[in-house]
């Protein structure tokens, strides 16, 4: 091969190599754009919440947050803490990944699992055409985010919960769980009608609170439940994390706010 041929071959090789690098770079850029599709989404929470400090009374086990969740997941993909001392709010959450399906105002526990959801701020599935350049605004408007309100909404009220039987006029054990304040009065420091000598909720003493026993004791062979009903097996939401939340709330004094 003469000198000119070698030079020509070298130029062709460099051109091919250059095209190869260009192709890889283009692929990386396209992939990066796909991976950060929702990085432009911004949620801004303003206004005020009531009883934010309620969660800090339980120690460091729980945190009130604005969080993004993948569909069907109880662990947030991204979250931002709401300061317990905040009187007015101006909190921004951005940088959400493709997997984020909903954005919620909620409380998470020490393993970052959602234990209470107060509100769904935004659902990407319900708004498929949302422009990522637009900010999602959420006005808190004084919403009650106390621990007890979370427990009431998640464990006591609603379909499949305690309210199913204790929301009627002829409620078992004459326990009526209608309304947050009225339910609190029916539970805290009130004598149990199924287990004499015990309180329904004894502030500071979960083990001797009938509500906690009802929520954690399943019927088994040879065991008779004084309240004659297996709540653990038949009431939605009485899993370990929610049982622990109930216990921690009672231990911390069973406060309403």
Spatial CB neighbours of 72, under 8 Å, sequence gap ≥ 6: none
Q: How many CB atoms within 10 Å of residue 189? A: 12
d(CA 200, CA 188): 6
pTM of the predicted structure, to 2 decimals: 0.80
- Residue appearing with tokens 């105002």: 105
In this prediction, residue 221 has a pLDDT band, given cuts at 50, 70 and 90, of: low
Q: What is the pLDDT of residue 235?
A: 83
In this structure, what are the phi and psi dihedrals at residue 221, rounded to the nearest 5 degrees?
Answer: -60, 130
Question: Does residue 137 carry a pLDDT above 90?
Answer: yes
Q: What is the pLDDT of residue 162?
A: 84
Question: Does residue 86 carry a pLDDT above 80?
Answer: no
Question: Does residue 100 carry a pLDDT above 50?
Answer: yes
Average pLDDT of the chain to the nearest whole number: 82
d(CA 22, CA 9): 20
Q: Are 187 and 200 in contact (CB under 8 A)?
A: yes
Tokens for 109?
């526990």
In this structure, what are the phi and psi dihedrals at residue 209, rounded to the nearest 5 degrees?
Answer: -100, 125
Question: Does residue 44 carry a pLDDT above 80?
Answer: yes
Question: Does residue 246 carry a pLDDT above 80?
Answer: yes
Question: Does residue 238 carry a pLDDT above 90?
Answer: no
d(CA 115, CA 58): 13
Q: Are 64 and 50 in contact (CB under 8 A)?
A: no
Q: Give the mean model confidence (pLDDT) for residues 210-231.
A: 83
Q: What is the pLDDT of residue 39?
A: 52
- Percentage of the chain modeled with pLDDT above 90: 51
For residue 28, the Cα-to-chain-centroid distance in whole angstroms is 35
d(CA 12, CA 18): 10
Q: Is 90 strand, coil or helix? A: strand
């Amino acid at each position: 091969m003469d000198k000119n041929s070698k030079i020509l071959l070298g130029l062709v090789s460099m051109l091919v190599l250059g095209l190869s690098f260009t192709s890889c770079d283009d692929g990386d850029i396209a992939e990066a754009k796909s991976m950060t599709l929702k990085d432009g989404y911004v949620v801004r929470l303003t206004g005020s919440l009531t009883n934010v400090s309620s969660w800090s009374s339980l120690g460091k086990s729980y945190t009130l947050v604005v969080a993004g969740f993948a569909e069907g997941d109880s662990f947030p993909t991204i979250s931002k803490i709401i300061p317990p001392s905040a009187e007015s709010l101006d909190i921004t959450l951005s940088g959400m990944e493709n997997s984020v399906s909903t954005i919620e105002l909620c409380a998470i526990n020490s393993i970052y699992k959602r234990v209470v959801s107060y509100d769904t701020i935004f659902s990407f599935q319900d708004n498929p055409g949302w422009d990522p350049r637009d900010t999602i605004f959420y006005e808190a408007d004084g919403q009650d985010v106390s621990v007890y309100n979370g427990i009431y909404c998640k464990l006591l009220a609603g379909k499949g919960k305690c309210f199913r039987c204790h929301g009627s006029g002829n409620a078992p054990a004459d326990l009526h769980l209608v309304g947050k304040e009225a339910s609190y009065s029916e539970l805290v420091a009130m004598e149990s009608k199924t287990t004499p000598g015990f309180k329904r909720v004894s502030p500071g003493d979960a083990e001797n609170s009938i509500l906690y026993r009802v929520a954690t004791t399943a019927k088994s062979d040879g065991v008779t439940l004084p309240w004659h009903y297996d709540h653990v097996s038949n009431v939605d939401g009485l899993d370990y994390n929610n049982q622990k939340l109930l216990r921690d709330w009672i231990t911390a004094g069973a406060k309403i706010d």
